[in-house]
Amino acid sequence: MEKHKKLEEQMEKARQELCDLEQIYGLGHPGVLRQSMVLDELINRYNRSYYAHVNNYTYRSERGTKDEHKPGQAQLHSNTFAASFG
């Protein structure tokens, strides 16, 4: 979880910098767009890390080792699928 905290701090710093740059230069400025991409990448890293953790936890706690399902794979539950069309 320390990794998540560090990423949250980096995201907040990048977000504040983006806001500051936007106030000075406006939305279309190349520096603002670059900073927006920096923030996007931090958010993507955070989400990948978070969902990898959640998938691993779910896999271990709910599915056990005998299930064929692997972390990160979607499973289709027939009851849910049928209910959405019925």
Q: Is the pLDDT of residue 74 over 60?
A: no
Distance between terminal CA atoms of the chain? 42
Alpha-carbon span 48 to 76, nearest angstrom: 22
Mean predicted confidence (pLDDT) in 61-69: 53
pTM, entire model:
0.63
pLDDT of 1 strictly over 70: no
DSSP assignment of 29-66 equals -HHHHHHHHHHHHHHHHHHHHHHHHHHHHHIIIIITTT
